[in-house]
Amino acid sequence: MKTAMELQHVNVKIFAEESDQLDQGNFTPIFQQWIQDRVCEELLIDVADYLHVDGGPGIVLIGHEADYSMDDTAHRLGLRYNRKTELAGNNEARFAQALKAALQACLRLETDGRLAGKLKFNRREIELFINDRALAPNTHDAQAQHGREIELFFLKVFHPQTFGMNYHHDPRERFGVTVKSQGDLDFQALVKKL
pTM of the model: 0.93
pLDDT at 139: 85
Q: In whole angstroms, give the CA distance from residue 71 to residue 58.
A: 5
Q: What is the mean pLDDT of the chain?
A: 92
13: β partners: 80, 127
Give the start-to-end residue ranges of the domains of the chain. Answer: 10-193
- How many of the other CB atoms lie within 10 Å of CB of 161? 15
pLDDT at 1: 38
11: β partners: 82, 129
Q: What percent of the chain has pLDDT over 90?
A: 72
One DSSP character per residue, 57-71 reads -EEEEEESSEEEEEE
Per-residue pLDDT of the chain (194 residues; tens, 9 = 90+): 344 688 999 999 999 998 777 888 899 999 999 999 999 999 999 999 999 999 899 999 999 999 999 999 989 999 999 999 999 999 999 999 999 999 999 999 999 999 988 999 999 999 999 998 888 888 888 888 888 899 999 999 888 888 999 998 888 889 999 999 998 999 999 999 99
Q: In whole angstroms, give the CA distance from residue 14 to residue 108.
A: 13
| Rg of the chain, C-alpha, whole Å | 16
